[in-house]
Amino acid sequence: MKNLAFETDGIETPVVHFENVGVRYGLGPEILRDLTFSIEPHSFQFLSGPSGAGKTTLLRLMLMSIRPTRGVMTLFGEEVSRIDKNRLTDLRRRMGVVFQDFRLLDHLTLYENVALPLRVQEREEASYRAEVVELLSWVGLGHRMHVMPTTLSGGEKQRAAIARALIARPDVLLADEPTGNVDPSLARRLLRLFVELQRLGTAIVIATHDLALMDLYDARRLLLADGRLHIDD
């Protein structure tokens, strides 16, 4: 697979930066509080914590599907409180997301699902067809590109979701429990895909409760507990 890394002007700005960030829903207590950390370009980190600790909420904050209720948060060097809707759309296109429930569209073929982010950008198919085919082959699904999602196994759907998240060549990939529905052998294979992505230049954030998976790769760990973040470098 071709290198996914982007050319830069030589300045390494954090992909995401939090400074004393807190978030609450409505008038309730803060779910996350006093978060101060950065996700650096080309980095790899596991986000862990017990069920209900707020891992998905933190990923949603990074994606800006919810906004912090206090503190300062920046995306690619831009403070989110100053980002308008159109600019936010541009920044989100630099982020790939793998959801727990895959979110594949059953009425589209596997090829069409992976190509969808580029179709939304109104690109001509001739400009991306070879890239989609190459990416599907890279995740081991080249022979399945014309089937419908309902015929795929859970592991195949997971790899398809990863391919769709990568097709726009994101600067950062956010993956929410990407190995939660697969067996240990496939989990190791998916981890190798993520490690290769980091090598090619994409920053990786994997939310997981799988301690055995984290023990397979020496990476930074972000631990959520009691609404606070603890960092193990």
d(C-alpha 124, C-alpha 178), whole Å = 30
Residue 113: Cβ within 10 Å count: 25
Query: Does 115 map to a domain?
Result: no
Query: Does 137 map to a domain?
Result: no
Look at residue 6 and tell me whether its pLDDT is greater than 70. Answer: no
CATH code (residue 61):
3.40.50.300
pLDDT digits (tens, 9 = 90+) for 125-161: 999 999 999 999 988 899 999 999 999 998 899 889 9
Look at residue 45 and tell me whether its pLDDT is greater than 80. Answer: yes
- Residues present in the chain in total: 233
Q: Write down the pLDDT at residue 182.
A: 77
**Number of domains the chain contains:** 1
User: Range of 79's domain?
Assistant: 16-103+170-232
Query: Does 184 map to a domain?
Result: yes
d(C-alpha 159, C-alpha 145), whole Å = 12
pTM of the model as a whole: 0.87
Query: Does 202 map to a domain?
Result: yes
Query: Does 197 map to a domain?
Result: yes
